[in-house]
Structure 1
Amino acid sequence: MFQSGTEWVRADFHLHTKADKEFSYNGEQDRFVSDYIYNLKKENIRVGVITNHNKFDLKEYRGLKKKARKENITLLPGVELSVKEGANGIHCLIVFKEEDWIKGNSESVNQFLDEVFKGIENRENENTRCNKDLAGTVETLDSYNNDYFILMAHIEQKSGFFKECNGGLIGSLSKKRWFKEKVLGFQKGQTRDKMKQLEKWMGYKLPYIEGSDCKSIEEIGKGKKSYIKIGDGTFDSVILALKDYQNRTSLTENNYNHGHIKSVELIGGKMDNQKINLSPELNSLIGIRGSGKSSIIEAIRYSLDIRPSTADEDYKTEVVKNLLESGGQVIIELQDNHKKNYKIKRILGESPHILDENGEEIGVTVNSILQTPLYFGQKDLSYMKNGFELELLNKLVGKKIKFFERDLNDINDQLGNQITQLYQLNDKVEDLPDLKKNLTDIKHKINIFEENGLTTKLSKQVNFQKDERNIENVYKLINKFKEDMEHLLNSPGLIELNELRNQESSEVPELFINLSREVSSVIAVKKEIQEIIDKIDSSSQQVKKYLEEIQEIISSLEEEFAEIKREIDIPNLNPDDFAKLKTNEDNLIKEIDQVTTQEETKGDIESKIRATLDKRNQLLLQEFQVYKDEIEKINSNQNSLELNIEFKGNKESFLENLRQSFRGSNINQSAYQSISETHSDFSALIGDVLLEDSKVTSSLVTEAQLIKVKGMIKENYNEQLKVRTPNKIEIKYHGKPITRHSIGQRASALVLFILSQKDNNLIMIDQPEDDLDNQVIYNEIITKVKERKPEVQFIFATHNANIPVLGDSEQVIAVSYDEKKLSTKIGSVDNKDIQNKIVDIMEGGQEAFNKRTQIYNLWKND
């Protein structure tokens, strides 16, 4: 029992047995114990109290308890006592601490019963009242100096506390010290109005519990159910649950629906063959400094593939190496939100492997099983560089904004391509005067050939060469078109459609038949595309033949052309230059026409860039809204923290990135400051320089600096577009910005920030008390942990007793280290051995604890 620490179990506080006069059993006498325990197990009752009417049978109780123990069921001794109070007496369920009341073969329960029923016959009748009222009964019980507690039975029925007592008596009794100390709950408080009235009379609340009040084996567990949260099958664990009833009792079953780590096993290294079972709620690794608490939490972090912060990454990496040693391995068993089980195995230095319940590798990430696990190691809470608030928020909402990053990269690529087109066009337009001048020069040189009457003689060769170039250009364009069609043929979309062609539906089969028909229709286009490609290829081959044909003709005319050139004998005129000049003339005319045509599209390119810049900002605003919504949740979940967010507000980050990007431009600090305050980010700066002729930027820098800025933007715009101006998040703690608080207060604010999240399955924090003060831990942190732990798994490494004790830690792992081996002692906070460990480790031992308690009591009395 309780391998994973404290857990919810069903409890029946009102069980009768064959020893009770009112109980009916028709089975074989030697089968009673087995039948009884079988029915407890069948009803999933793991804690029961034997409460026969005014009677306790030690032999029967021991037989039942022995059998129950084998089935991991805890039975406690008790009695249903009818006390002399109210109109018809009150039935009380008295639960005894076995170690106190039963010693070997002797017990004090019947001695107590003999005392309170002295002179009264037929006491086993359920309506027979003892000779003591409630106060007298408690006084008699206390005289034995043994531990016990009382539950008021079936309080709304006959002989019930509410039914038999009036408001004045209830108010009077409930104010008594002995009542408050010993009466710990009410059974079968079922009418809401009556329970409100009861609480009004009393002035405080007690838990409502259930018991089947069974009169036969078949009635065991019937009726309403009761659950308690315990970590040890003992009287003390049950009494602790009833005293902390707000957190440890329930009339409905409690199930854990969040993903969590079930166990951590280490193979090799300093914890070879040790396994740590974890609770889905609060787990506390305790130990003196240097005991190895951090080693375990770092091993878990490493297995989950969570990178430590850059603050002390090397140190944390060494901690894991020191624990696991060469070849060491961590195996984590975990469960997701859908109650499916997995294993993560990671050998030191290797990648983690995630396996399903069948041991098959499934190739998913940890985040797909454990929803956004958070880890904060030593110093992480006090490490506060610029922008740490956003980094922290990113850990919490990273899953929600992941696709924004992908879309932003696509937009940045699109924007970069458009800017490239504009720069290329601008460069060509700038070169246009030179192109025209070159054309004029070439025409002048051609004119010299014409004046000497050589044009006619050389035109045949020039025309053939021009025809060859035209055919060659057609051949290239046809092949380029063919490549484009082949790319379309191999489109991933067509491949995916082909895989989806035969989908079926059990709900709308006819609709999916029609869907398949349309997919097949699109797939059929693939055949048509292939036919087009074949036609293009056929044309390409034909044009190639034309090219080869004209090349053969030119080759056959080479001697004719050579003869013409030999006949020309004009000083300073080379006939070969004429052909080159005519080729250059054609190329320049085409290039000038092309640039002139493209210049007309400049406005379209600029419009596209403006639209893409707006698209980029709209995407960033959508991401900003996700942050804003998350911040509103955080602000509404608690009162200590207030978060605010400003769109692209981290100007310090933008300023630093400007310095890095324009290093060497001779821009001074004041100008950098002005640029960062005037422009929201690099995209705004690039837009001003490229689209608005530096209208804004020119007023912020000198002319010489502007020239350098323009040049550096042209060289680096693709990289600059990737650099974001982060949103600025301000965290206020108790109304004051976190940056103006002490380290301890800042860390406290961050822990509260972390604990206020709703979407994280696991939160691990290593020794938060290093940066927190005890008052904050108790007043705020512990309160929030107790509120959140039914929905989030916490793993704390700590040497502060407040966390495991006041946090009511479901599982405690006491760690010790002797330089060669790291050892653990594991159990819930209910476990006596663990309680002793807490006192020894965290309070300096029992003697120190007792002395402090004495001093605190003296101070309190003074």
Structure 2
Amino acid sequence: MLLPGVELSVKEGSNGIHCLIVFKNEDWISGDTEKINQFLDEVFKGIDNREKENTRCNMDLEHTVKCLDSYNNDYFIMMAHIEQKSGFLKECNGGLITSLSSKKWFKDNILGLQKGRARKEMKKLKGWMGYEIPYIEGSDCKSVEDIGKGNPCYIKIGDGNFDSVVLAFKDNQNRISLSQKKYNHGYIKSIQFIGGKLDAQEILLSPELNSLIGIRGSGKSSIIESIRYALDIAPSTADKEYKNDVVKNLLESGGQIILNLQDDYGKEYKVKRVYGETPHILDHNDKEINISINTILQTPLYFGQKDLSYMDSGYELNLLNKLVGENLSGFEESLRKVNNRLNNDVSKLLDLEEEIEKIPELENSLSDIRHKIKIFEDKGLAEKLIKQVNFQKDKNKIQRINKLITDFYKEIQLLMQSNIVADLEKSKNFSSIEVPNIATKVDREVNKTLQMKDKIEKIAAEITTSSNLMTEYLKDIQETINSLEEEFAEVKREIDIPNLDPDDFSKYKMSEEKIAEKIRNARSKSEKKIEIRSKIKGILEERNNVLLDEFNKYKKSIEEINSNQSALQLSIEFKGNKAVFLNDLIQNFKGTGINQTSYKAISENFSDFTALVEDVLVDNSKRISDLISDTQLLKLKERVRTAYSKLINIRTNNKIEINYHGKPIAKHSIGQRASALVLFILSQKKNNLIIIDQPEDDLDNQVIYNEIITNVKSRKANVQFIFATHNANIPVLGDSEQIIAVSYDEKQIITEIGSIDKKKIQTKIVDIMEGGQEAFSKRTQIYNLWQKG
């Protein structure tokens, strides 16, 4: 962009001062005619050689401004090379600078100071003026080819026109810099749509503030929700079904959304999602990669319509999880694994107890069997029949041993076929550039270990031989038994006692051995029960440590959040959500006869369901028995025994409280609550992207102007904001880098994209958000009258 201007020496200070006048092209130049030379003729009236560098015009700075104003055309002035000869600072003393800079005409028209570099002098200048205007650089070129050479100066404009430059100077803290702006946060570069109501459209986004504007029902929320859908962020409970329907209506069957992203390090990615399918993440080569979106965009925050005012049970934890995001990844998986181990060991404990509880019944059975055997002994038959019994016992033992050998062989085979062996094979030939000697030693040990594989294979072959021999021995004993069949039959024929079957003796003896073995095993498991109880307690402690790790992570995040701002303060209590725990107790122990008072006592005496399971199943109901009646206890114990797996997986969440100016946020009005949450969200420093759909629905204009806009402007250089809004304050006062004007014609959504500096976009803002130019002008007139009044 090229704007017309002159460097003019005016009669001010000891030697005159140089100023740069920049003219609005369309005001001062029209076709072949222009008014710039007319102005110069006026200020140099009667002076020859005005083109010479140090030729001063007839007027001082004030009268030069008045002369310019007489043309009723736009312009602005910058003071040239202020520290050098004929510079504003060099030629004017402190008193003159103080006098000039206090004038309204000076403040309105002198917008910049060129080549102010000495910090000490700049400090003096600020003291004399009492305010700051931007320092700029310039190439001071003598030809077109020299443009851009010299010290750089950067100006942020959204359109190549005079007005955007003037706005940049007037908002210089945000728009003018002596260093180039670099974005070090991840952000969405653009959104593409294939199919649906935005088919073949692409929306380019700024790394800073993006505002979706449009009348109600124009499609703003549809675009917001589609971004949310592409990022795989689940909608909140508020209007969940509606929000999912909005995405479905926008993308339609087979429709696709593509987000082009950049991470903190400048690497580019794509997120593609077809409606109804899972999202796919691709690198800059369009190759699919297995990473999470949070790896690219650090914990993006999304708040849809009504999310700021909707406060269901547990909203505090949901909000904190949004802010903490990826920092807590892995905890749920760790907890799931611990819970599974706990379930398995509780199941083993109950099985052991069931076996132990059967001991009296088994002992009774054993007594009955032994009584029947004694009848044979009393008749003198036991010695005659015992030989067949012994043969059968020996055969059974050999069969059991054979099974153990076979099982041992199978375990070895499983080991040999496992991934461990395959992974060790892949680890061979290890080498290193940095530590070659160590690498050689490591590779030697890998090869040694793999040599064991051959030894194990030999052992497996020997076990196979043993197993085959055992099969032969079984055949041998069976042949021996078969050869003695006639002998056994002869013994039985000799026995002729009424109501006494010789074959029963063998059955009784075998049963006696089996029952006795069961009793021995059950008694030995009494000791194992103590061992498994101890193991369960260890797992319970491990589970608690996992939850404590998560709690401490939350606590650390809360401390960081609280230190960033003071209005909203969070606190957390480990397993402190007793209200939810109480409700869960009532739901899970219906029908046990426990009353409300007892439920409350249980919730106060136990931290969670696992503590209750521990007391009932491991500690013989030591604590719970003091809180409920014996009848209730019996029913509760039965419920715990049958539903322990479900109960273990029910968490008592940490209690999180949010206070706004010392008062619980839930006790504030909806507007105050929403305002507090928005300010709180904007204060977060670990989130690359913040998306909010129509925050003004729950906020008043004063809050938006005084607090929200201020925060957005201060944070947008480090955070990408995407707002959907029908409130003009956000895009206009927030100085939105990109505006997406949205309209809907029943078949498709149409977008018009540009910055706040573009005339077309400005017209859209007036038409959409101010009710049109006429309504805007009338309001302006009324406001001006009110100010005069």
Q: Which interval holds the TM-score relative to the shorter structure?
A: over 0.9
In the other structure, the counterpart of 2:492 is 565
**Aligned with 2:238: secondary structure?**
coil
- Could you tell me which of 331, 339, 347 is aligned with 1:404? 331
Q: Is residue 2:600 matched to residue 1:673?
A: yes
Cα separation, 2, equivalents of 1:510 and 1:75 = 66
Aligned equivalent of 2:658: 731
**Deviation (angstroms), 1:679:** 0.9
- Asked whether the 8 Å contact 2:742–2:749 carries over to 1, the reply is yes
* 1:534 and 2:454 are equivalent in the alignment: no
> 2: distance between equivalents of 1:807 and 1:180?
23
Aligned mates of 2:453, 2:682 — CA distance in 1:
55
Q: 1:486 aligns with which of 388, 407, 413?
A: 413
Give me the whole-angstrom Cα distance separating, in 1, the residues matched to 2:433 and 2:145: 45
Q: CA-to-partner distance for each residue in 1:267-300, whole Å, 9 max, x for gaps? A: 2222222221111121111111111111122222
Q: Is 1:292–1:815's contact at 8 Å kept on the other side of the alignment?
A: yes
Residue 620 of structure 1: which of 532, 541, 547 is its match? 547
Structure 1 residue 502: Cα displacement: 4.0
Q: 1:535 to 1:257 in 2, by over 3 A?
A: farther
How far is 1:793 from its partner? 1.8
| Corresponding position: 1:606 with 2:606 | no
- Check the 8 A contact 2:335/2:546 in 1, yes or no: yes
Provide the residue aligned with 2:619 in structure 1: 692
CA distance 1:85–1:312, change in 2 (3 Å): same
- In the alignment, which residue of structure 1 is the partner of 2:252? 325
The Cα shift of 1:521 comes to 3.2
- Residue 148 of structure 2: aligned partner: 221
Q: Which moved more, 1:554-563 or 1:772-781?
A: 554-563
Segment drifting more, 120-129 vs 144-153: 120-129
Aligned position for 2:282: 355
Contact map agreement 2:617 2:641 (CA 8 A) in 1: no
The correspondence of residues 247-646 of structure 1 with structure 2, limited to 5 A, is 247-646=174-573
**Structural RMSD (CA):** 2.0
Secondary structure at 2:168 match in 1: helix
Hey, what's the Cα distance between the residues in 2 that align with 1:779 and 1:501?
A: 66
Alignment of 1:857 with 2:752, yes or no, is no
Instruction: Give the 5 Å matches for 1:793-804.
Output: 793-804=720-731
> 1:162 and 1:521 mapped to 2: Cα distance?
82
Match of 1:39 in 2: none
Equivalent-residue separation in structure 2 for 1:722 and 1:263 (angstroms): 42
- Is 1:238 matched with 2:165? yes
User: How far is the alpha carbon of 1:220 from its aligned partner?
Assistant: 4.3
**What displacement does 1:357 show?**
2.5
Does structure 1 conserve the Cα–Cα contact (< 8 Å) formed by 2:153 and 2:178? yes
Note the 1:736-815 alignment, pairs <5 A.
736-815=663-742
82-91 or 485-494: which moved more? 485-494
Higher mean C-alpha deviation, range 410-419 or range 426-435: 426-435
The TM-score with structure 2 as length reference comes to 0.96
For 2:705, give the aligned amino acid: Y
DSSP 3-state at the match of 1:112: helix
Aligned length: 789
Change (3 A) 1:522 1:110: farther
Distance 1:367 1:199, change over 3 A: same
Alpha-carbon spacing, 1:434–1:641, altered in 2? closer, same or farther (3 Å): same
Corresponding position of 2:124: 197
C-alpha displacement of 1:840:
0.9
Counterpart for residue 114 of structure 2? 187
Change beyond 3 A, Cα 1:220–1:602: same
For the pair 1:97 / 2:24, whether they are aligned, the reply is yes
Change (3 A) 1:809 1:449: same
| Higher alpha-carbon deviation: 559-568 or 641-650 | 559-568
Distance 1:462 1:413 in 2: 46
1:98 to 1:725, Cα distance in 2 relative to 1, 3 A: same
Structure 1 partner of 2:645: 718
SS of residue paired to 2:370: helix
SS at match of 2:330: helix
Q: How far apart are 1:774 and its partner, in Å?
A: 1.6
**Residues 755 and 502 of structure 1, relative CA distance in 2, 3 Å threshold:** farther
Is the Cα contact below 8 Å between 1:227 and 1:252 reproduced in 2?
yes
After TM superposition, the score normalised by the length of structure 1 is: 0.88
The 1:580–1:628 alpha-carbon spacing in structure 2 relative to 1, beyond 3 Å, is same
- Give me the whole-angstrom Cα distance separating, in 2, the residues matched to 1:120 and 1:494: 98
CA contact (8 A) 1:387 1:650 kept: no
CA distance in 1 between partners of 2:8 and 2:451 (Å)? 87
Deviation at 1:147, TM superposition (A): 0.9
Which of 68, 87, 91 is equivalent to 2:14? 87
Q: Deviations 1:613-643 (Å, cap 9, x if unpaired)?
A: 1221122111111111111222122232111
Shift of 1:233: 1.0
Letter of the 1:456 counterpart: E
Residues 424, 273 of structure 1: alpha-carbon distance in 2 compared, 3 angstrom cutoff: same
Consecutive unaligned residues in structure 2, runs of 5 or more: none
- Cα distance change of structure 1 residues 198 and 706 upon mapping to structure 2, 3 Å threshold: same
Q: In the aligned structure 1, how far is the partner of 2:124 from the partner of 2:474?
A: 106
CA shift, 1:217, in A, is: 6.7
- 1:218 deviates by 7.3
Cα 1:830–1:518, aligned 2, differ >3 Å: closer, same or farther? farther
Structure 1 residue aligned with 2:80: 153
- Residue pair 1:116, 1:137 contacting (<8 A) in 2 also: yes
Matching residue of 1:42: none
Report the alpha carbon displacement of residue 600 of structure 1 after superposing the two structures with TM: 2.1
Letter aligned with residue 82 of structure 1: S
Measured after TM superposition, the shift of residue 127 of structure 1 is 2.3
> Secondary structure of 2:271's partner?
strand
Post-superposition shift, 1:337? 2.5
Give aligned-pair identity as a percent.
Answer: 64
